[in-house]
């Protein structure tokens, strides 16, 4: 019988992402740890889920531990889904990425967009145990608002909350965001896995 995870190596070097994940998984008896810097995973997948699976599997094999990977990004309707899986590579800093996106959109009136989050959990042997995907619809503002969050959060506006991700408290963001929804879907499955331990 496969033992459920007690420690999860998170396949990211981003402490902001790790903090968010710790918030989502607070109810579980789990220790979360950033992946070692020397493990580099080339994201060669063509979808968020392919990349999440690649990262989880490679980090699990390299560390011999359970690994959780998230691949997420922003898809802008008027840009035919760009930046998509290239969201993190759209510039070298958050402000560069935001600037580039706003320039490409220009005065476009269709500002519809969605954030997508794919989560993959890999067993220590590199096989994928769980995968979930979730989205959050919103609009791209003409200029940044708010100082919380990271990435494209200051220009991603959620109409039903009348706030950008960067204006939300972490608690509100975790309820409505793509990552929050993905973790809500993952939690019961993770609990079941742990119960097998």
| Domains of the chain (ranges, CATH numbers) | 7-195 (3.90.950.10)
Check whether 1 has a pLDDT greater than 50.
no
**Interacting residues of 19 by C-beta distance below 8 A, sequence separation 6+:** none
Contacts of 79-87 with CB under 8 Å at 24 or more apart are 79/104, 79/105, 85/43, 85/45, 85/46, 85/47, 85/48, 85/51, 87/151, 87/152
Model pTM score: 0.90
64 band by pLDDT with thresholds 50, 70 and 90: very high
As a whole number, the mean pLDDT across the chain is: 93
3 band by pLDDT with thresholds 50, 70 and 90: low
Catalytic residues: 71
Average pLDDT over residues 98-125: 97
pLDDT by residue (tens digit) across 146-184?
999 889 999 999 999 999 999 999 889 989 999 999 999
Query: What was the pLDDT predicted at 194?
Result: 82
Check whether 2 has a pLDDT greater than 90.
no
Query: What was the pLDDT predicted at 23?
Result: 85
Check whether 185 has a pLDDT greater than 60.
yes
Check whether 16 has a pLDDT greater than 80.
no
The angle, 0 to 180 degrees and rounded to 10, between the axes of the packed helices 178-195 and 15-24 is 60
Average pLDDT over residues 124-139: 97
Calpha distance 78→114 (Å, rounded):
11
Check whether 26 has a pLDDT greater than 80.
yes
Under a CB-based contact definition with an 8 Å cutoff, are residues 145 and 154 in contact?
A: yes
Average pLDDT over residues 127-138: 97
197 band by pLDDT with thresholds 50, 70 and 90: low
Percent of the chain with pLDDT over 90: 75
SS3 string, the chain, reads CCCCCCEEEECCCCHHHHHHHHHHCCCCCCEEEECCCCCCCCCCCCCHHHHHHHHHHHHHHHHCCEEEEEEEEEEEHHHCCCEHHHHHHCCCCHHHHHHHHHHHHCCCCCCEEEEEEEEEEECCCCCEEEEEEEEEEEEECCCCCCCCCCCCHHHEEECCCCEEHHHCCHHHHHHHCHHHHHHHHHHHHHHHHHHCC
Query: What was the pLDDT predicted at 193?
Result: 87
Average pLDDT over residues 80-104: 96
Under a CB-based contact definition with an 8 Å cutoff, are residues 36 and 114 in contact?
A: no
């Amino acid at each position: 019988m496969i033992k459920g995870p007690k420690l999860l190596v998170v396949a990211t070097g981003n402490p902001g992402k790790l903090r968010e994940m710790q918030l989502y998984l607070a109810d579980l008896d789990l220790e979360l740890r950033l992946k070692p810097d020397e493990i580099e995973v080339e994201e060669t997948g063509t979808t968020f889920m392919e990349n999440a699976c690649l990262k989880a599997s490679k980090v699990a094999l390299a560390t011999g531990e359970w690994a959780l990977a998230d691949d997420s990004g922003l898809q802008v309707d008027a840009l035919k889904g760009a930046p998509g899986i290239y969201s993190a590579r759209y510039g070298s800093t958050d402000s560069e990425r935001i600037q580039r996106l706003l320039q490409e959109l220009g005065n476009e009136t269709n500002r519809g967009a969605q954030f997508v989050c794919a989560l993959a959990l890999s067993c220590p042997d590199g096989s994928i145990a769980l995968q979930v995907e979730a989205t959050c619809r919103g609009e791209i503002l003409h200029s940044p608002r708010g100082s919380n969050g990271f990435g494209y959060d200051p220009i991603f506006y959620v109409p039903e909350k009348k706030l950008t991700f960067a204006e939300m408290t972490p608690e509100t963001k975790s309820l409505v965001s793509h990552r929050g929804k993905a973790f809500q879907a993952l939690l019961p499955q993770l609990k079941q896995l742990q119960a097998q331990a």
